[in-house]
Amino acid sequence: MFLENTKKTGSIEVICGSMFSGKTEELIRRLRRAQFANLKVEIYKPAVDVRYSEAEVVSHDSHSIPSTPIDSPGSMLLLSGDVDVVGIDEAQFFDDTLVEVAQALADRGVRVIVAGLDTDFAGKPFGPMPALMAVAEDVTKVHAICVKCGSLANRSHRLSSDDKLVVLGEQDKYEPLCRHCYNKATGKATE
């Protein structure tokens, strides 16, 4: 006789890469599949991210899914009572407590899917992303296409000289570049 597995097993999945690499698109795809499977899904994004919508996670390709904007990761523990899946977009904008929150949710049996930039405009690891990748069961690195040479892009090159860590923007402020073109554009090239 076949016995149904009713044990909930939690996990952390990280989707990371540069801007315009399809991180949010992949997050939305995974969350929709969970919804199709009749799983209870909660989706969160940083309240500071209002580029496309205040209350939805929206990809650059205009696909969207309803979400709850929050100011701090701790809110997820309060708002995610009896859920199967938690989606988190733009994770790099949260503080390092996101790692503890994601682990606590996974320990409760929740599948946690996190999307975010792995590096900032200066090419440095961004926010809680490195620590999330370290504790995740699965890490998917997605790539954009370099707008200069057509290679795989893994850098988010800021087009302005603004040196603040967080500057919200789209194609007006950022372009995806490969390592070589990024180094050339930022004066780090050794050629």
Which of these is catalytic: 13, 26, 90, 175? 90
Question: Of 150, 171, 105, which Cα lies nearest the Cα of 132?
Answer: 105
| Contact partners, residue 177, CB within 8 Å, separation at least 6 | 18, 146, 147, 148, 153, 155, 157, 185
| Contact partners, residue 2, CB within 8 Å, separation at least 6 | none
The answer to whether 149 and 134 are in contact (CB under 8 A) is no
47 conformational bin, left if phi > 0, alpha if psi -120 to 50, beta if neither: alpha
Cα gap 55→132, rounded to integer Å = 24
Is 90 assigned a catalytic role?
yes
Active-site residue set: 90
